[in-house]
Amino acid sequence: MTSTTFKLSQLLTKSENWISISPEERYKQVTARLWGKGLILRAEVTGSEIAAARQLRARAGQFLVSRIDARHGAYGIVPEELDGAAVSNDFPCFDINEAVVAPRYFEWLSSTPGFIDLCRRASEGSTNRVRLKEDSFLALSIPLPPLEDQHRIVARLDRAAALVRARREAVAAAEADLQSLLTKAFHRIAADAPRLPMREVAPLVRRPLAIDLDARYPELGVRSFGRGTFHKPELSGSDAGSKKLFRIEPGDLVFNIVFAWEGAVAIAQPTDAGRVGSHRFLTCVPKADLVAGAFLDFFFQTADGIGKLGAASPGGAGRNRTLGVQKLEGIAVPIPDRGAQEWFLRLLHRAEELRAIRTASTADIDALLPALLNETFAERSDAG
């Protein structure tokens, strides 16, 4: 397939569609996502909230670039829903020369690492003031196949994208169904079960560490919304200073007290052995003869459990809401008999097996589009 090399100035013409901002009128604002992920609505505001007398009006189909983050792939084609959005001079808009390049082809091309690298090369300045230089950007060249071939390539990529999108939607629907089934099973055995306070079934256990200034301490984090633990970078003893650190052991039920109200609760895994947490991480140890940690963890992801953590976390939004130790210890949790718990744990285990299979099968689908993009546009680059 033959390609012809074009300067970006032959494909893109800067728009100078300036508008005066009216204090009473409402305007859409744009966010350019990084790494070629396109544009989305940031907010809709009145003109009185915009600190400028005039702005650029973006039009659907234009190519919009963030001067500041272009080197990180912050740009995209303006979608129909953002037509008429008001943007500052830091977001230049370009009309696309459709006689030379199909807009959808250019959109796919701009999502590739190679195009992001072009933007990086055209960005100059000091560490904190790097900006895309339009003249340098428009002087860069890219190879393009004939329009007929561009449309054929677009159709191929769009089909692949539709396949990936459909797969992701199917996975999300299957996960929702699986979670619904687990929740119903949980309520089935928990509804009439006796309730006991956390201090009796999973008391708080603290394992303070004596800080060695020459040692290093790998920290553990807990994601919100029941998404498990994650590993933070190591903290040196000297950096810890007067910070209190506590040892976390596998099997602990760990609460991030700052975000417990949004489900930041998890069971520490065997791979978390040796990790530590600050005073913001509370560790409770379930009594094995009464309750399984995984059962308690699931309870704190239900609406009932989240509600109780919210009630035990007084204050305003975000970091002003902190889970109180005594309030946590007083939360009454359902304790079904061990047979019922074991039945539920088998369901949980089976669910995790299904998720692992689904994740493995989805990985190949998720890799399809990047591989296809690389193959398609590496060919174009080689041809040029």
pLDDT tens column, 38-87: 999 999 999 999 989 999 999 999 999 999 999 999 999 999 999 999 99
- CATH for 4-144, among 3.30.2020.10, 3.90.420.10, 3.30.2350.10, 3.90.220.20? 3.90.220.20
Q: Return the CATH architecture of domain 195-335.
A: Alpha-Beta Complex (3.90)
Q: Quote the pLDDT of residue 361.
A: 77
Residue 305 in this model has a pLDDT that exceeds 90: yes
Say yes or no: do domains 4-144 and 195-335 share a fold.
Answer: yes
pLDDT of 196 above 60: yes
pLDDT at 382 > cutoff 70: no
Q: Where are the domains of the chain?
A: 4-144, 146-172+342-384, 195-335
pTM: 0.72
pLDDT band at 379 (very low <50, low <70, confident <90, very high): low
Helix-helix angle 103-110:147-190, to 10 degrees? 60
Beta-carbon count within 10 A of 377 CB = 21
Distances from the Cα of 271 to the Cα of 229, 232, 262, 283, angstroms: 10, 13, 24, 16
The Cα 95–Cα 102 span in angstroms is 12
Query: How far apart are the C-alpha atoms of 233 and 219, rounded to whole Å?
Result: 6
Neighbour count for residue 300 (Cβ, 10 Å): 22
pLDDT digits (tens, 9 = 90+) for 338-373: 999 999 999 999 999 998 888 887 777 778 888 888
